[in-house]
Amino acid sequence: MIRARDVVKEYEDGDGARVRVLDDMSLDVEDGDFVAVVGPSGSGKSTLLHLLGGLDIHYRGDVEVGGVKLSGLGDQALARFRNSHVGFVFQSFHLIPNLSALENVLLPSHFGAGTGDARKRAEALLERVGLKEKKDRAPVRLSGGERQRVAIARALFGGPRLLLCDEPTGNLDAATGAGVIRLFQELHQEGLTVLAVTHEDRMSAAARRVLRLKEGRLVEESSPSAPVASQGAP
Amino acid sequence: MRLEALSRLVRLSLARERKGAFFSAFGVAMGVGALVFFVGLGLGVGRVIREKIFPTDSRLVDVVPPAVSLGSLLGGGKLDAAAVERLAALPGVEATYRKMGIRVPAVTRYDGSFFGARLRMGMEVLAVGVDPGLVRSDVAMGEFKDAGDGQPIPALVSTRLLELYNKTFAPARKLPQLSANMLVGFGFPVEFNRSYVAATAPGPVTAAQAQVVGASDRAMFAGITIPLETAIRLNRASGVDADTFTGVTLVASDPARVPALMEAAKAMGFEIDDQERRLAENAGAAVALTTSALALLSVLICLLAAVNIAHAMSASVRARAREIGVMQAVGASRSDVRNIVLAEAGVVGAFGGAVGTAVALLLALLVDRFASGYLPSFPFKPESFFSFPWPVVVGGVVLGLVAALCGAYFPSRRAAATDPARTLAG
Ligand SMILES: Nc1ncnc2c1ncn2[C@@H]1O[C@H](COP(=O)(O)OP(=O)(O)OP(=O)(O)O)[C@@H](O)[C@H]1O
Ligand SMILES: [Mg+2]
């Protein structure tokens, strides 16, 4: 699903000096895997997600996602890729405040995604995340967990095979977070590939693989603590 | 991105920024409204000048003998039949119409009923004879030709004289208002070779009845216009010059040939009576200048409106950076983002332009209403002071659109350059 080779990403800091965030980073993720990425604040986790999701193209190296080689894609092609190949879930949800839950889920449809009855599809997705009754509510009238579920439904709208999640439980209390984690597990069991940046132990515990971002590279974390993950596993 | 999706997104964001959008549209409406109003006024007043005050036909050239006739000493500058033939032969001349003034004084003494009022007056009359072709279309009764001794003389009056009479003379003297139609058929006595003030020619006095047969733009302003043959006959009867003409009107085949014709006539020793044309041109130029100044001012307002939109749009783009990032994350390309911003501005601009144009049209209507209802009548007072050909109306809306798009140009580029990775982090 993901194949990244020798990726180098640098930022310029305020003084014009270059700071290397990803340093010859390589990554392989199998189709249908559930991967957690951990690492200290500022280690480049969000940066990595943006590269994989085609939101950032200023790097060296090769990134291939779902058979699409991202380096070298034009703006239109990248937009199409984001529209239907990946779904983003952010820590602070990033819902558009003056749109209802349903309209937020429908947002990708304006940029091409979802042939057929977009509205029906969005309603089905809201039902899937357990918010059928609240589809017409504005985001301010939803709880944090509900907002994140709306955001997940939106990420699923284009029918992606990969979900990229940036601390999806970071703004949620433990109980709500657990619910969201369970949702990811279910989606994973339905065949979706999930790559989640997280600080939360329960999230990494739910994942099948845990990678640590360290000095610009990803290293395999020794065996994830199994108990929680084994819940739904065979 | 489909149009339908674009319009939905634009509607959503305009609904949210209702107030800002309203003020932006208001600015555009001010500029466009002022421009449409002033251009309409300029065109309307220009039309009144062209059609009512100085109705000049751009194809006509009035050739007259030189005022100080040096030429006559040298055998030139005499506007006789031979000269008319030479003028008629000039390239580009489609027709020639001769004019001959009555070269003896004339008076009218009227004592009788005058359209319901009683009128008693004696007054000097000027008369000029013209080739019937020049005025044929304005003749409303009978044939415009010399009927011979003792017969009524068909006479045309000037439409402008009629206007002045109606608006200034008639009200002051409590005389009835007259239309050209009412005047047709009205007869009055004229005695040629008689005067209250001037010396007369040695020949006899000729008494005749003049009968108004219509009103014409081309008729002499202060006097009556009669058939050329009549003028020749009367001049001959009074024993004065009945061979040279007081003027010839040349009809050019094309307005573009007029300057060349003027030059040729001057080269032949004649002068051009372009007083009317000059007056029309001067008045037209004055109106055009005023209109241009006001239009320029309006364009400046439009420019300000564009700057205002630029300002509002860049603030809105900045405030929405995160939302733009979200749209990019779910599949908006850079051109999608740019198009959304441009479309928002476009809707605001077209709306402002349409409202401004509508208000200008409405205001013009009110001014005309007011003028016809409350302003006293004055000569050449038009039905409408405005003229709004469709390009002006469409142009108003388009200008609003263009001003807004210009204003949104840089903000839209800035929006398209939004770095989603930066706005979405955290
Ligand atoms: N646009 C940018 N310009 C310059 N430096 C940046 C930019 N974005 C990120 N950085 C720097 O790159 C490094 C990695 O940032 P990143 O956001 O990827 O970290 P992170 O691992 O997601 O941190 P956190 O856990 O706090 O979210 C940080 O040192 C940050 O300061
Ligand atoms: Mg981060």
Contact B49, B387 (CB under 8 A): no
> Residue written as tokens 């003896």?
B104
Last residue of a domain, which of B269, B288, B312? B269
Name the phi and psi angles at B196, rounded to 5.
Answer: -85, -25
- Least CB–CB distance from B424: residue in A94, A113, A154: A94
User: Which residue has the least CA distance to atom 6 on ligand 1?
Assistant: A11
Residue B335: domain span? 3-54+280-424
- The verdict on the CB of residue A44 being under 6 Å from ligand 1 is yes
In angstroms, the separation between the Cα of residue B389 and the nearest Cα of chain A is 40
Q: Does B334 touch chain A (CB under 8 A)?
A: yes
Q: What is the mean pLDDT of chain B?
A: 89
Clarify whether residues B40 and B189 are in a common domain.
no
Contact B410, B314 (CB under 8 A): yes
Nearest atom, ligand 1, residue A213 CA: 21
B322 neighbourhood in chain A, CB within 8 Å = 94
- The verdict on the CB of residue B86 being under 6 Å from ligand 1 is no
Contact B245, B96 (CB under 8 A): no
Q: Is residue B363 part of a domain?
A: yes
Name the phi and psi angles at A98, rounded to 5.
Answer: -95, 15
- Least CB–CB distance from A158: residue in B331, B336, B419: B331
Question: What span, in angstroms and rounded, lies between the C-alpha atoms of B214 and B216?
Answer: 7
At B9 the pLDDT is: 87
Clarify whether residues B110 and B158 are in a common domain.
yes
More confident call, B90 vs B55: B90
Nearest to residue B61, comparing CAs of B249, B227, B187, B242?
B249
- The verdict on the CB of residue A21 being under 6 Å from ligand 1 is yes
Nearest atom, ligand 1, residue B419 CA: 1
* DSSP, res A73: -
Q: Is residue B275 part of a domain?
A: no
Share of chain B above pLDDT 90, in %: 53
CA angle B353, B359, B362 (to 5 degrees): 140
In angstroms, the separation between the Cα of residue A196 and the nearest Cα of chain B is 14
Q: Is residue B274 part of a domain?
A: no
pLDDT digits (tens, 9 = 90+) for B267-280: 888 888 888 778 88
In which residue ranges of chain A is pLDDT below 70? 113-115, 222-234
At A232 the pLDDT is: 39
**CB-based contacts of B131, cutoff 8 Å, min separation 6:** B96, B97, B98, B99, B228
Q: Is residue B110 part of a domain?
A: yes
DSSP percent split of chain A into helix, strand, coil, nearest 5: 35, 25, 40
Clarify whether residues B312 and B405 are in a common domain.
yes
Asked whether the beta carbons of residue A76 and residue B1 sit closer than 8 angstroms, the reply is no
In angstroms, the separation between the Cα of residue A230 and the nearest Cα of chain B is 31
Nearest CA in chain A to B324: A96
pLDDT digits (tens, 9 = 90+) for B145-177: 998 888 999 999 999 889 888 888 888 888 888
Clarify whether residues B358 and B400 are in a common domain.
yes
- Least CB–CB distance from B328: residue in A47, A55, A158: A55
Helices (H), B199-272: 228-237, 258-267
At B51 the pLDDT is: 80
**CB-based contacts of A153, cutoff 8 Å, min separation 6:** A105, A122, A125, A126, A128, A129, A131
Name the phi and psi angles at A211, rounded to 5.
Answer: -115, 145
A166 neighbourhood in chain B, CB within 8 Å = 425
Asked whether the beta carbons of residue A94 and residue B325 sit closer than 8 angstroms, the reply is yes
Clarify whether residues B219 and B285 are in a common domain.
no
Nearest CA in chain A to B416: A75
The tally of domains found in chain B comes to: 2
Question: What span, in angstroms and rounded, lies between the C-alpha atoms of B282 and B285?
Answer: 5
Q: Is residue B33 part of a domain?
A: yes
Q: Does B321 touch chain A (CB under 8 A)?
A: no
Neighbours of B263 (CB within 10 A): 11
Cα(B319) to ligand 2 centroid in Å equals: 22
How is A166-204 classified by DSSP, letter by letter?
ESTTTTS-HHHHHHHHHHHHHHHHTT-EEEEE---HHHH
Q: How many beta-carbon pairs below 8 A join chains A and B?
A: 85
Last residue of a domain, which of B235, B269, B303? B269
A98 neighbourhood in chain B, CB within 8 Å = 12, 15-16
pLDDT digits (tens, 9 = 90+) for B14-25: 888 888 899 999
Question: What span, in angstroms and rounded, lies between the C-alpha atoms of B405 and A48?
Answer: 37
In angstroms, the separation between the Cα of residue B23 and the nearest Cα of chain A is 21
Question: What span, in angstroms and rounded, lies between the C-alpha atoms of B291 and B281?
Answer: 15
* DSSP, res A142: S
- The β-bridge partners of A69 are A64
Contact B248, B96 (CB under 8 A): yes
Clarify whether residues B265 and B284 are in a common domain.
no
Question: What span, in angstroms and rounded, lies between the C-alpha atoms of B288 and B280?
Answer: 12
Cα(A55) to ligand 1 centroid in Å equals: 14
A88 neighbourhood in chain B, CB within 8 Å = 329-330, 424
Question: What span, in angstroms and rounded, lies between the C-alpha atoms of A159 and B7?
Answer: 24
Sign of torsion, CA A48 A49 A51 A55?
negative
At B100 the pLDDT is: 95
Question: Rounded to whole angstroms, what are the CA distances from A196 to A53, A206, B184?
Answer: 12, 11, 99
pLDDT digits (tens, 9 = 90+) for B313-337: 999 999 899 999 999 999 999 999 9
- The verdict on the CB of residue A46 being under 6 Å from ligand 1 is yes
Q: Is residue B109 part of a domain?
A: yes
In angstroms, the separation between the Cα of residue A21 and the nearest Cα of chain B is 14
Clarify whether residues B50 and B133 are in a common domain.
no
pLDDT digits (tens, 9 = 90+) for B376-398: 877 788 889 999 999 999 999 99
Clarify whether residues B176 and B75 are in a common domain.
yes
Q: Could you give the ipTM of this predicted complex?
A: 0.92
Question: What span, in angstroms and rounded, lies between the C-alpha atoms of A9 and A18?
Answer: 10
Nearest to residue B102, comparing CAs of B229, B249, B272?
B229
Question: What span, in angstroms and rounded, lies between the C-alpha atoms of B330 and A155?
Answer: 7
Question: What span, in angstroms and rounded, lies between the C-alpha atoms of B389 and B140?
Answer: 32
- The verdict on the CB of residue A42 being under 6 Å from ligand 1 is yes
pLDDT digits (tens, 9 = 90+) for B100-157: 999 999 999 988 888 888 888 888 999 999 999 999 999 998 899 998 888 999 999 9
Question: Domains of chain A by range and CATH?
Answer: 2-221 (3.40.50.300)
Clarify whether residues B294 and B416 are in a common domain.
yes
Q: Does B330 touch chain A (CB under 8 A)?
A: yes
At B126 the pLDDT is: 93
B323 neighbourhood in chain A, CB within 8 Å = 96
- Using DSSP, state whether B167 is helix, strand or coil: helix
Nearest to residue A82, comparing CAs of A58, A55, A103?
A55
> Residue written as tokens 């279309």?
B137
Question: What span, in angstroms and rounded, lies between the C-alpha atoms of B409 and B320?
Answer: 17
* DSSP, res B108: E
Share of chain B above pLDDT 70, in %: 97
Clarify whether residues B364 and B327 are in a common domain.
yes
- The verdict on the CB of residue A45 being under 6 Å from ligand 1 is yes
At B68 the pLDDT is: 65
In angstroms, the separation between the Cα of residue B312 and the nearest Cα of chain A is 20
Last residue of a domain, which of B269, B303, B327? B269
Clarify whether residues B22 and B82 are in a common domain.
no
Asked whether the beta carbons of residue B331 and residue A92 sit closer than 8 angstroms, the reply is no
Clarify whether residues B235 and B329 are in a common domain.
no
Q: What are the strands of the beta sheet with A2-12, ordered from one edge? A: A18-29, A2-12, A60-65, A68-69
Q: Is residue B97 part of a domain?
A: yes
At A64 the pLDDT is: 95
Helices (H), B238-389: 258-267, 275-319, 321-329, 334-374
At B75 the pLDDT is: 52
Residue B424 pLDDT > 80, yes or no? yes
User: Which residue has the least CA distance to atom 7 on ligand 1?
Assistant: A11
Q: Which of B320, B326, B330, B336 to mutate to test the interface with A (most CBs of A within 10 A)?
A: B330
* Nearest ligand for residue A213 CA: 1
Nearest to residue B219, comparing CAs of B128, B103, B104?
B128
Residue type, A12: E
Residue type, B217: D
Asked whether the beta carbons of residue B332 and residue A79 sit closer than 8 angstroms, the reply is yes
Contact B248, B98 (CB under 8 A): yes
Helices (H), B123-257: 159-164, 170-173, 180-183, 228-237
Asked whether the beta carbons of residue B331 and residue A88 sit closer than 8 angstroms, the reply is no
